[in-house]
Amino acid sequence: MELDEITISRAILSSQMEKLLEFMEMDVAVVGGGPSGLTAAALIGEQGFRVGLIEKKLSVGGGMWGGGMMFPRIVVQEEAKRLLDQFDIAHTSYTEGYYVASSVEAVSKLTASACDAGVEFFNLFSVEDVMIRGDTRLSGLVVNWTPVEMAGLHVDPLTMGCRVAVDATGHDAVLARLVERKGGDVKVRGEGFMWADCAESEIVSHTTEVFPGLVVCGMAANAVAGEHRMGPVFGGMLLSGERAAALATSSLRQENSAA
Ligand code: 48H
């Protein structure tokens, strides 16, 4: 059979447009495809909610791909070992309570789990603003193509509605900062110095709904809380993603039962 270029183009455009239209209203928008966002998205998607993952770069994985200083290895502590097992990420014990895994395998398996859970990926989309009506609740995201942002082109964005947004944008805590900058009741304290023990032990408690409809997780949670950073130990990112998933799904269920 001869291949027809126009058919190939039509297949891509029509299937992606269909997905985009379907995700104009989603249950949860996870912004940022690093380890915490991938974990959150996979665990929310598994529960049957419509989850879109919006990632400004070409590939997901965030800061996990590079491991520690480009050595593609991550360390995960005892508390999060069960999540390595849950996502079937191979690991070896280094010394008591410290496990080592391949960063490439970790990103790949988290991503595969999110795909299996029905998460839809919107890569090369950059969130540049949020929608909030009358200071009450975040109700959507304002997005544009990353290349538009990179080229500094004056192109108006589009919007995507969501019932809950998860800010998994890492060190920049983009969504929380946007809400703060525009007068929402959120204070982003900015992350502290490197102190792995504090940073890892506190990250789950910093994973909260900081504004109605906005949950922060991963490094964004520590940045909002003014917590320390931790370097290439990733257990906290997985645990924080898990907590974000629990918060987002319980908020959706409450809303469903109130309706
Ligand atoms: C869409 C966006 C936008 C935007 C950013 O940095 P990440 O890997 O985030 P976490 O929190 O899941 O993991 C943090 C970890 O990788 C890390 O950096 C650690 C543990 N550091 C410790 C230390 O001491 O340094 O991923 C965030 C993702 C990236 O892929 C960004 O491209 C994406 O969010 N992103 N996506 N719209 N406006 N901003």
DSSP E strand boundaries for 173-240 = 209-211, 214-216
- Burial-class residue 142 by CB neighbours within 10 Å (0-12, 13-18, 19+): middle
What per-residue confidence (pLDDT) applies to 170?
98
92 in any annotated domain: no
**Per the domain annotation, does 13 fall within a domain?**
no
For the stretch 29-50, pLDDT in tens is 999 999 999 999 999 999 999 9
Mutate-to-test residue for ligand 1 from 169, 178, 227, highest number of ligand atoms within 8 A of CB: 169
In angstroms, the CA 27 to CA 45 distance is 10
- In this structure, is residue 253 part of a structural domain? yes
The CA-atom distances, in angstroms, between 32 and each of 64, 94, 258 are 12, 30, 30
Read off the pLDDT of each residue in 92-102 and give the average, rounded to a whole number.
Answer: 98
Which residue is closest in CA terms to ligand 1's atom 39? Answer: 169
Ligand 1, CB cutoff 6 Å, lining residues: 31-37, 54-57, 62-64, 126-127, 168-170, 172, 174, 194, 218-220, 229-231, 234, 237
Question: For 92-101, what is the mean pLDDT?
Answer: 98
User: Which structural domain, as residue segments, surrounds residue 46?
Assistant: 25-71+105-258
pLDDT tens digit sequence for 206-217: 999 999 999 999
Distance 34 CA to ligand 1 centre (A): 5
CA angle 49, 55, 56 (to 5 degrees): 155
* Whole-structure pTM value: 0.98
Confidence of residue 259 (pLDDT cuts 50, 70, 90): confident
Asked if residue 11 is part of any domain, the answer here is: no
144 within a domain of the structure (yes/no): yes
Model confidence over 121-134: pLDDT tens digits?
A: 999 999 999 999 88
DSSP E strands in the chain: the ranges are: 25-31, 51-55, 73-77, 92-95, 98-102, 120-123, 125-132, 138-145, 158-167, 209-211, 214-216
- Cβ neighbors of 194 (< 8 A, separation 6 or more) are 228, 229, 230, 231
Domain membership flag for residue 10: no
Q: What's residue 255's pLDDT?
A: 87
Q: Could you tell me the distance, in angstroms and rounded to a whole number, from the CA of residue 168 to the centre of ligand 1?
A: 6
* Distance from the alpha carbon of residue 170 to the mean position of ligand 1, in angstroms: 3
Within-domain flag for 9: no
Domain membership of residue 19 (yes or no) is no
Q: Place 59 in a pLDDT band, splitting at 50, 70 and 90.
A: very high
Domain count, the chain: 1
Residue nearest ligand 1's atom 28 by CA: 32
Residue 137 sits in a domain of what CATH number?
3.50.50.60
Protein residue with its CA nearest to atom 24 in ligand 1: 231
Q: How many Å lie between the centroid of ligand 1 and the Cα of residue 258?
A: 34
Sheet with 98-102: strands ordered across: 73-77, 98-102, 92-95
